[in-house]
Amino acid sequence: MARSMKGRSLISSADFSAEEYQMMFEMTADLKRRVKMGEGHTQILRGRTLAMIFEKPSARTRVSFEVGMAQLGGHALYLSPNDIGMGKRESTADIARVFGRMCDGIMARVFEHEKVVELAKYAGVPVINGLSNDEHPCQSLADLYTIHEQRGDLRGLHLVFVGDGNNVAASLLLTCATLGVNMTVIHPNGYDVEIKKVEAQARQLAEGSKATLNFTTEPDAVRGADVIYTDVWASMGQEAEAEARAKLFAPYQVNSELVSKADRNVLVMHCLPAHRGSEITDEVMDGPHSVVFAQAENRLHAQKSLLALFIANGQ
């Protein structure tokens, strides 16, 4: 299975089968165990370089990929919008061709999803979608690994996403549908743009895994949930809408009252950064149900599994 992953790219959360996700989980667990047991880091990426293209800033994405490459013996190169001007100063295809000749892999955090698709088309090396307006597959990989770490078998669990049907929700929908996790998205009316883009694909995947997918505007749909997940109400690029969204989304806050309606052992997740007191309260985020910071840490280990499987075996 590991050989079948060599040279692969992660563009969408729908790119991999349940068996391949399991391989990623196993690699993640092994790499994390090495860190926790003080066994030292494997050097399987010694001499390898990852180009990191950032059109959108991110603390967690940059730190996790830089630290991940360092722990695996490689090097990560940070490139800001001012460094390359992708699609403006130079075409995305040309940048892909150049970086593919100089680097062993590319991670891109972009606005338009088509840019990461184009990078993968022309680079000739593995490309990892660090986030696009459509999806956030690295996040959903770390999220489902975290649930697996906490609960074991994922099949039949019920994850409820509360808030804006954004790129994070879209990737979660595809990953849950692949892995047999039932998912409900609770959102204000009309705030389901990104999940609508992937709904048909997710339903097709869910047919194979027997997962159920539901969409509603009713916060009470958290009843019986094994996982409650939320995200900011206004993402990057939506700052002008923040005040209006705050009023509209107020009934969807993840607070103690909402959490009390879920399973007594419910896990609470947030991809960060969190606006405490808006989409989630301090009491919940710092409370006994929260796995938010374990989830954040697992971005590092899950992404290391991608680097190890894609790049170390990819040349």
How far is 156 from 16, CA to CA, in rounded Å? 19
CATH topology of domain 138-295: Rossmann fold (3.40.50)
Q: Which residues are the active-site residues? A: 109, 136, 139, 231, 271, 299
Please, which pLDDT band fits residue 315 given cuts at 50, 70 and 90?
very low
CATH 3.40.50.1370 boundaries in the chain = 3-136+299-312, 138-295
CA distances from 79 to 27, 57, 67, 99, 108 (A): 28, 11, 16, 11, 10
pLDDT tens by residue, 246-301: 999 999 999 999 999 999 999 999 999 999 999 999 999 999 999 999 999 999 99
SS3 content of the chain, % helix, strand, coil (to 5): 50, 15, 35
Nearest to 136 by CA among 166, 160, 159, 163: 166
Report how far apart, in Å, the C-alpha atoms of 196 and of each of 49, 205, 214 are: 36, 15, 12
| Sheet architecture: strand order including 127-131 | 75-79, 49-54, 105-109, 127-131
* pTM, entire model: 0.95
pLDDT tens per residue, range 220-256:
999 999 999 999 998 766 677 888 899 999 999 999 9
Q: What is the pLDDT of residues 184-214, one digit of tens each?
A: 999 999 999 899 999 999 999 999 999 999 9
| CATH number for the domain running over 3-136+299-312 | 3.40.50.1370
42, two tokens: 């494997």
So what's the pLDDT on residue 244?
87
87 pLDDT band, cuts 50/70/90, is confident
> What's the angle, vertex CA 60, arms to CA 198 and CA 227, rounded to 5?
55
